Amino acid sequence: MKFTILGSGTSVPHAKRSSSGYWLETENGTILLDCSASAVHRMAQENLNWANLDAIWISHFHLDHIGGLAPFLFGTKYAPETQERKKPLKIFGAEGLRKVVENFDKANDYDLLKQPFPLEIIEIEALDKFEILKNVEAVAVSVPHTEESLAIHIREKDKTIVYTGDTGFTMVLGDFARNADLFVCECSFVEKSPVETHLTLPEAMHLARYARPKKMVLTHLYAEWDGVDLAKEAAKFSPLCEIIEATDGLQISL
């Protein structure tokens, strides 16, 4: 699998970090993990085959995670690259996803659900196993952020990736990410979080030591991380695995 970071930032505009989006290339197709407004053009900037994308995972309905979905579907509806496409695009997320997409659509009768190719919206229940792509198995768990927020565990053959989406601290993630080849974990704040629905570095490192993933990417970084040496700060916690600071455009092969 190959993982490309489109946006390592948050909803707050930042010169170097665009908002959430991660491209996962597998042997069985491609998945976009979260779709911020900036992710739509970031896919093209990274020369990714967006017109052939197989699946989109929406972790929750905050606009820095879903706000690009309507613009993307507006693009695929009219783009020359997608007019001959026959295979379906599947969009996965929590209960309520269909209603959010329909409300985007109704804002101005965009008719986003009518595409040149079949479009499927699939609402996932926490703990139900599903195939996000053929032969790529996934399962989601609820995390403390918004009511619908889900973290996802993706497995292809013997490789596993876990993506937290936005989350507060929960040891559920420690078990969920155990021994993962790649643990993509939000780490919004350096030391103290103004809210309980995001993680700080000490909390993320606690999860790292418990979960023992092979590699851990810290992402969803607010501007207070600017000028902080993330790797050096993380090393102080002896995290027992490789810790990688997310940057836009970073690629990780598994």
Which spans of this chain sit near Zn ion (rule: CB under 5 A)? 62, 64, 166
User: 97: closest CA among 56, 42, 152?
Assistant: 56
CB of 135 to Zn ion, least distance (A): 30
Greatest CA separation for the chain: 53
- Cα–Cα distance between 112 and 169 in angstroms, integer? 36
**In the complex, what is the shortest distance from the CB of residue 162 to Zn ion, in angstroms, rounded to a whole number?**
17
Nearer to Zn ion (CB atom), residue 54 or residue 163: 163
DSSP 13-34: --SS---SEEEEEETTEEEEE-
**170: which residues sit within 8 A by CB, 6+ positions away?**
143, 144
What is the closest distance, in whole angstroms, from the C-beta atom of residue 100 to Zn ion in the complex? 14
With respect to Zn ion, which residue has the nearer C-beta, 145 or 155? 145
Q: How many whole angstroms separate alpha carbon 194 and alpha carbon 215? A: 27
Alpha helices by DSSP H, listed for the chain, are 37-45, 63-66, 69-78, 97-106, 172-176, 201-211, 230-235
- Least distance in Å: CB of 219 to Zn ion? 10
One-letter amino acid for residue 193 of the chain? S
User: Least separation, in Å, of the C-beta of 19 and Zn ion?
Assistant: 7
Which CB atom, from 166 or from 203, has the smaller least distance to Zn ion?
Answer: 166
- For the CB of residue 16, give the shortest distance to Zn ion in the complex, in Å: 17
Nearer to Zn ion, 15 or 134 (CB): 15
What is the 3-state composition of the chain as percent helix, strand, coil, each rounded to the nearest 5?
Answer: 25, 30, 45
**CB-wise, 133 or 207, nearer to Zn ion?**
207
C-beta of 42 vs 62, nearer to Zn ion: 62
182: how many CB neighbours lie within 10 A of its CB? 25
